[in-house]
Structure 1
Amino acid sequence: MKKLAVLIDADNSSVNSIQSVLEEVAKYGIASVKRVYGDWSSETLKSWREVLLPHAITPVQQFAYTKGKDATDMILIIDAMDLLYGGALDGFCIVSSDSDFTPLASRIRESGLMVYGFGRNKTPEAFRKACDKFIYIENLVLEDKEEIKQETEKETLKSEPTKKEDVKPQVLSKHEPEKDATKNEAIESLDNKSQHIDRATLNLIYKAVKDNSDDNGWANLSVVGQYITAVKPDFDSRNYGRAKLSGLIKMLNLFETRIDGSQMYLKKIKNKVS
């Protein structure tokens, strides 16, 4: 497993997404280093204190000596370079929506290490493209809400009474409708995403298949995915309401697919126009 350093900019990250981020990081390797940077004397970071111990995240204090100057970014970059020169890591996860970390991501990649970026949709393009892979926080939060919804439905089915007369009216507290509304909005957002894929991304998928296909036009899905991410680091099938690239390919209905062993292959359908 790859050893990763997770460096979090508390000033430009949401405390509510940290668990989701760490779960996503676990897909790529082991978080050997977990640090979060900020001015912990500030009341604005008070909510972070509750998540540090449960997730074994080390807080790094940096006072804001001068108003308007982001000292947090500076100490995070200095720490990252120290860790880079230490040579004990395989990659970095930078959690921030700040473009100031663009040079840092580029420098780490020059050293041959992987850089995974985590940030909101508003994250500047420069930082997104400087990473090997960039993951949108919104996708992780929506994904968690979908899993919660599915688990809730399973539990409901298990506990449903078998006889109609056993059904008792359910009394909802004033807080429950709000929670249900939040879940429904999350799922509705996922459904809306699945209805649209931009032309540039679609053309990139076509090119990925074409450039990596054999003489018969078949391309390995895994290779296609690697190609797309290399060109567009912030590409994620979850941007379009699908958990995996295979699901997105099937949703598009523009490619033939076949399974060979444990690998999926795809080929453009000839009568489909790109």
Structure 2
Amino acid sequence: MVNGETLEARLAILIDADNASASHIEELVVEVAKYGKASVRRAYGDWTKPNLSGWKSTLLNHSIQPMQQFGNTSGKNSTDSAMIIDAMDLLYAGNLDGFCIVSSDSDFTRLAARIREQGLTVYGFGERKTPLAFVAACDTFIYIENLTVKPAPAADQVTTPWKRSSKLDKLLAEAVDAASADKGWAPLSAVGSNLSRLASDFDSRTWGYPKLSDLVQAHPDYVVLYGPNGGGAMKVRRK
């Protein structure tokens, strides 16, 4: 904290351009801003290849530095190796609080785990096809599809029936139970933290709601309590 202000987390965005689409980068940069300031922005690939030609304007518009890596040997992913080496250099430089690894490739699973071992936060970004091992290795994993799909209306505007999901029901029950205190009430903020710990890829947008509060209010098994005059911290408990 400096002059009474909390410092933003310093983050590095490392993009596997061979395994990510330039069309989603604008939404991704906006999402990253929720977690901190992206002081390092790099995208890795063989920029001499025609399949990466569409990246040029995206790189310029978002101040992302292209990192050239030639594919020296057929069948070997030189891009992944270059990205991992740079990530370790940045890690040991000690100037960052976290990393945003953009890829749907399981090759970055050990990198994510290693960064976490050093006490830094890892945010993963990838498509739903991303292997579970990489998803679990991140502190938080955000599916690219959730950044581009228009969310459902707020809970008080929803008229369609709630769609049951045993996975979601189990996660919510465990998160609420772990955070509950007086008369079963649990602070919504604590429930959200528990959900992230239980499942790194938990995201209310996956279920069609822009915020956790909207999802919980729409869920038929839970009651939401607002603070005085509709403000303050929200609480939730099972019905």
Q: TM-score, normalised by structure 1?
A: 0.79
- The one-letter code of the counterpart of 1:210 is D
Aligned amino acid, residue 66 of structure 2 = P
Verify the 8 A CA contact 1:209 1:224 in the aligned structure 2: yes
| Alpha-carbon separation, structure 1, partners of 2:215 and 2:98 | 28
Is the contact made by 1:92 and 1:116 (CA closer than 8 Å) also made in structure 2?
yes
**1:97 alignment counterpart:** 104
For residues 199-240 of structure 1, give each alpha carbon's deviation from its aligned partner in whole angstroms, at most 9, with x where no partner exists: 022111111111211131000111111111111000100001
Q: Quick check: 1:244 aligned with 2:208?
A: no
Give 2:3's aligned residue: none
Letter in structure 1 aligned against 2:237: K
- For 1:208, the aligned partner's letter is A
Q: Could you give the per-residue CA deviations for residues 72-131 of structure 1, whole angstroms, max 9, x where no partner exists?
A: 000000000000000010000000000100000000000000000000010000000100
Match of 1:196 in 2: 163
CA displacement, residues 41-89 of structure 1 (integer Å, 9 cap, x when unaligned): 1001000012111110000000001111100000000000000000010
Counterpart of 2:142 in structure 1 is 135
SS at match of 1:263: coil
Secondary structure of the corresponding residue to residue 216 of structure 1 = helix
**Alignment-derived partner of residue 37 in structure 2:** 30
Q: Does residue 234 in structure 1 map to residue 201 in structure 2?
A: yes
What's the counterpart of residue 213 of structure 1?
180
Gapped runs of 5+ residues in structure 1? Answer: 151-190, 270-274
**1:266 equivalent in structure 2:** 236
Distance 1:246 1:34, change over 3 A: same
Aligned counterpart for 1:79 among listed residues 65, 86, 93? 86
Tell me the C-alpha RMSD between the 2 structures. Answer: 1.8
Percent identical: 51
What's 1:48 paired with? 55
**Residues 94, 117 of structure 1: 8 Å contact kept:** yes
TM-score by length of 2: 0.90
Moved more, 109-118 or 253-262: 253-262
> Unaligned regions of 5+ residues in structure 2, if any?
1-7
* Aligned counterpart, 1:187: none
* CA drift at 1:262: 2.0
- Tell me which moved more, 208-217 or 57-66: 208-217
Distance between the aligned counterparts of 1:230 and 1:105, measured in 2?
Answer: 16
Q: What's the offset of the Cα at 1:259?
A: 1.5
Tell me the residue number matched to 1:115. 122
Q: Is the 8 A contact 2:162 2:219 kept in 1?
A: no
In the aligned structure 2, how far is the partner of 1:196 from the partner of 1:236?
Answer: 16
Looking at structure 2, the residues matched to 200 and 51 of structure 1 have their Cα atoms a distance apart, in angstroms, of 37
Query: Could you say if the C-alpha distance between residues 194 and 60 of structure 1 is closer, same or farther in structure 2, counting changes exceeding 3 Å?
Result: farther
Q: Which secondary structure does the structure 2 equivalent of 1:36 belong to?
A: strand
Contact kept? 2:19, 2:103, Cα under 8 Å: yes
Query: 1:194, 1:241 within 8 Å by CA — same for their partners in 2?
Result: no
Measure, in 2, the Cα distance between the counterparts of 1:200 and 1:53: 41
Q: Deviations over 1:220-272 (max 9, x none)?
A: 11111111111100010000100000101111121111122521100100xxx
For 1:224, the equivalent position in structure 2 comes to 191
Name the one with the larger helix percent.
1
